[in-house]
Each structure stands twice: as C-alpha cells, then as structure tokens.
Amino acid sequence: MGAGARTRTWWQTYFAKWFLLGVLVGAISGGTALALYYLMAAIRAISLGVLGFSRYPPSLPHDASALAFLAIAALAGLSSGLLTELAPEARGSGIDNTIMSYHWAEGAIRKIVAPVKLVASAIVMGAGLSAGDEGPIAQTTAGFASWISDALGLRKEDRRKLVGIAIGTGIGTIFKTPIGGAFLASEILYRRDFEYELIFPAFVASAVGYSIFGAVTGYGPIFGFYTAPFDPSRLPLYVLLGVLCGAVAIVYLRTYNATEDAFARSRIPRWLRPAIGGLAAGAVALAFPEVMGTGTSWTAVLLSPTGVASLGLVALAFLPFAKIAATSLTVGSGGSGGVFAPGLFIGAATGLAFGELMKLLLPSIVSSPVPFAIVGMLAVFGAAGKLPISVTVMVVEMTGSLQLLPAELLAVTVAYIISGPASIYRSQRTSRSSG
C-alpha cells in the first residue's frame, strides 16, 4: 500500500470513528438535557407551587410568606449539600471540576458524579435559587461520556476528548445553540487557545444533541428573533458598552471567586454551606425577585419591548449586582448549579440599563435599548469566562441577531481586554503549551 493510500485509510478511519463517537455524545447530551429539563420543572412545580406561583418567571405574590420562601431556599441548599457529600466533585458550578478532569485526569470522572449533579442541580434551580443549568448539563453529560468511554474500552486519550466534547455539546444543547456549543467545546478549556481537535466531533455531537432536545422542546431560538436593522452610527456607543461590560465582568468573576474562597476557608461543615448560601440568596430574591432561577426566563423579559417599563431604570441598574450576589452565594457556597446562564442575565440587564440611559440622553440616535441588552449578554460573559468567540456565536443563535454582529464583536473584544487575564473558570489553562 502506497503512502497516499495509507493516508487516505487513516483519514477515513479517524473521521468515521469520531463521527460515531460524536453521535454517541450527542445522544447522551440530548437525553441528559431532557432529564434535567423535566426534573427541574417538576421540582419547581412542587416547591414554588407551595408559594402560589402560577407562572414562570416568578414574581413573589403579595400573599406569599417570606419565611416560607426562605425556608424552601435553605432546604434546597441543604439538600444539595447533603447529596454532594456523595460526590464532592459535583459541588458548585461543576465546569471547573470537569475542566480539571480533562487537563489532569485524562477525562476520568467517577460514575456517581453525573446522577448526583443532575439531581442536586435540579433541586437548587427548581427551588428558584440563582444558578444556571449549563454547568450541570456539562458535567452530567461529561460524566456519562467518561463512563461509557470506559465501558467501551476506549483509550484514555479518547476518553479525554469525549469529556471535552461533552462540555460544549451539553451547553449548546440546553441553550439550543449547536454551532456555538461546538466552538465552546474547544474554547472553554483555555483562556487564550483552542483545542482544535474537538471541533469536528463536537459539531456532530451538537447536531445530534440539539435534534433530540429540540424534538421535544422546540427548535426556535430561545429568545426569539431580533429583526430591527443595524445602525452603524451607534458603534461608538457599543464600544462604551464594552468598557462597562468588561468592568461588570470583573465584578462578577471576583465576587464569585471571593465568595467561593470564603466558604472554602470557613469552618462550617461542607454539607451546611449551601444551605447558608441558599438562605442568603433567598433574602436577595425577596428584594429582587428577578434574580430567581437560572435567569433565562427573566432574560427573555428583559429582551422584550416592555422590559424596561416592567422594572424601571433605577431598579434595572441594581439588577446585575443583585444577580451577581445571589449567584455567588448560591453556587459559591457549593450549591449545585452553573454561572453561565446567570452571566447572560447580568449582561442583558447591564446592556438594557445602558441602552435606556442612552435613549434618554441621545433619543435621536437610540430608539430602543434592546440591541444593547443583546450585545451586553455576550460581552459580559464572553469576558468573564474568556469565551469571546463561542459566546458571541451562541448569543447570535439565541437571538437571531446576525445583523448586530459588528456591534457584538466590538463590544466583546473591548470587554475581553478590559477584564484582564482572570476567568470565572479557574481551572482553565492559559494555552495548550502551558502547564
């Protein structure tokens, strides 16, 4: 066999193998996303139904008992704390521990981690505590992928790749952003680099995961389609928004990391810490009900034409910091949940407040604050998580806002520079060549 034939055979074998493994990870991702989605909805109906919530996103009803709500928040945190005693890796966001597994454990994740993460996270988010669903879906999908890799007798290097693929695919599936999820698989592992080998199988996995999840929950963008035209005269304002979002990203990642460190240093038993964090986050929610839950439903409210009118500019200005506090207390204390979805809400609220202020100051240029909210979504977390490319693609998929791409690219670039080298995911390596 000649060199050309051998190369062609290797090429076909390699891509056939990773096509099939991509399909496998995608199937795991789609099934896991549905399990989390329905388990969280069931717990939400039970726990928040006690307080008389008739819809979601919730707003505390006037006759709701504040003490009852705080008790539910504390009990949810306590349940998470007790469950994660079985699998300490499932505490907090979960993504950091999964990234650590990729870089330093060849993708090995204990079998118990995935089910514990799934149930603990559903309890935390279902009870209305401030946490995202992307961390749980990423770690759970990665945990099942690691287990199946071992069951199939795959090489450790292949298991490692499957775990990396699962992180991005899981997040892309739950957000219905298959393209962004595929890029996320290669970008989330490093602060200034990509794992390019993951992109091909991640595209396959994202397509399958999205198809399965969307077949049940729908295929449209989760925030609908933004249809207004792009106005290039606003580009300087988007640069200013990027500066603001970079500053908010710093506040978010430093507050979250500081809270995580403070709880880690405390002498409070590990199983009790999420209960205390949940209680404190519940107190924040009494003042700002908008901080409850993952933030996705409230982000949809912010992106609606009546988003500002329903809140008011002053309350809107405080909302990003209330969400930062509630998320840091919930997840930083060890409660099982993510920080990505809350980051999108923080960015949307920041952008909406900025856009409304510009509308008041420059009414001839700014007619609506909504495009600033969309740009803010990706700029804050693109900077905080060091994910400027994948988060930009994901938000475009979530909002159908391709015409805003020039503004989005400018703002996320400026925010990324302003935020510096720190990341909310501290397990990220700087690059593939770094130790």
Q: What is the CATH number of the domain that holds 148?
A: 1.10.3080.10
> Any idea which of 49-58, 225-234, 268-277, 357-366 has the lowest mean pLDDT?
49-58
Residue 3 has what pLDDT? Answer: 59
* Residue that is last in its domain, among 165, 185, 217: 217
State yes or no: pLDDT of 60 exceeds 60: no
| Domain of 45, in residue numbers | 3-217
Compute the Cα dihedral for 39, 141, 262, 287 and give only its sign. negative
Per-residue pLDDT, averaged over 103-110, amounts to 97
CB neighbour burial string for 78-89, b if at least 16 within 10 angstroms, e if fewer: bbbbebbeebeb
Per-residue pLDDT, averaged over 206-210, amounts to 98
Q: What is the mean pLDDT of the chain?
A: 93
Per-residue pLDDT, averaged over 200-213, amounts to 98
State yes or no: pLDDT of 82 exceeds 90: yes
Q: 243 and 107 share a domain?
A: no
Which of 225, 176, 242 is closest to 376 using CA atoms?
242
In angstroms, the Cα distances linking 227 to 202, 401, 403 are 29, 7, 8
- Residue 409 domain-assigned (yes or no): yes
Residue 14 has what pLDDT? Answer: 81
Per-residue pLDDT, averaged over 4-23, amounts to 77
Residue 56 has what pLDDT? Answer: 46
- Show Cβ contacts of residue 82 under 8 Å, excluding neighbours closer than 6 positions: 271
Residue 239 has what pLDDT? Answer: 98
Which of 188, 161, 160 is closest to 172 using CA atoms?
188
Q: 255 and 192 share a domain?
A: no
Give the whole-angstrom CA distance, residue 352 versus residue 144: 38
Per-residue pLDDT, averaged over 116-130, amounts to 96
Coil/strand/helix, residue 132: strand
State yes or no: pLDDT of 54 exceeds 90: no
Give the whole-angstrom CA distance, residue 221 versus residue 96: 27
Residue 46 has what pLDDT? Answer: 87
Give the whole-angstrom CA distance, residue 292 versus residue 288: 8
pLDDT more than 90, % of the chain: 83
Q: 81 and 206 share a domain?
A: yes
Per-residue pLDDT, averaged over 263-291, amounts to 95
> Any idea which of 4-8, 106-110, 198-202, 228-232 has the lowest mean pLDDT?
4-8
Q: 183 and 238 share a domain?
A: no
- Residue 368 domain-assigned (yes or no): yes
Confidence grade of residue 1 (pLDDT, cut at 50, 70, 90)? low
- Residue 330 domain-assigned (yes or no): yes
pLDDT more than 70, % of the chain: 93
In 165-273, the DSSP E strands lie at none
The Cβ of residue 367 has, within 10 Å, a number of other Cβ atoms equal to: 13
- Residue 243 domain-assigned (yes or no): yes
Residue 37 has what pLDDT? Answer: 96
Which of 345, 347, 371, 346 is closest to 358 using CA atoms?
371
State yes or no: pLDDT of 63 exceeds 60: no
Q: HSE on the CB side for 322, CA within 13 Å?
A: 21
Q: 132 and 267 share a domain?
A: no
- Residue 227 domain-assigned (yes or no): no
pLDDT tens, 297-354?
889 988 887 776 667 788 899 999 999 999 999 999 999 999 999 999 999 999 999 9
Q: 189 and 278 share a domain?
A: no
Residue 69 has what pLDDT? Answer: 87
- Residue 224 domain-assigned (yes or no): no
Per-residue pLDDT, averaged over 287-298, amounts to 89
Statement: the pTM of the whole predicted model exceeds 0.75: yes
pLDDT tens, 136-155?
999 999 999 999 999 999 99
- Residue 425 domain-assigned (yes or no): no
Q: Would you call the peptide bond into 57 cis, given omega within 30 degrees of 0 as the criterion?
A: yes
Q: 60 and 173 share a domain?
A: yes
Q: 28 and 129 share a domain?
A: yes
Q: 410 and 381 share a domain?
A: yes
* Residue that is last in its domain, among 158, 189, 217: 217
Give the whole-angstrom CA distance, residue 286 versus residue 291: 9
Q: 246 and 381 share a domain?
A: yes
Q: 291 and 247 share a domain?
A: yes
Residue 224 or 414, more confident: 414
State yes or no: pLDDT of 52 exceeds 70: no
Q: DSSP secondary structure string, 330-388?
A: HHHTT-S-BSHHHHHHHHHHHHHHHHHHHHHH-TTT-S-SHHHHHHHHHHHHHHHTT-H
Q: Which phi and psi (to 5°) does residue 129 adopt?
A: -70, 155
Q: Where are the alpha helices (DSSP H) in 195-234?
A: 199-217
Domain count, the chain: 2
Confidence grade of residue 181 (pLDDT, cut at 50, 70, 90)? very high
Residue 434 has what pLDDT? Answer: 80
Per-residue pLDDT, averaged over 230-240, amounts to 96
- Residue 226 domain-assigned (yes or no): no
Q: DSSP secondary structure string, 48-66?
A: GGGGT--SSS----TT--H
Q: 200 and 163 share a domain?
A: yes
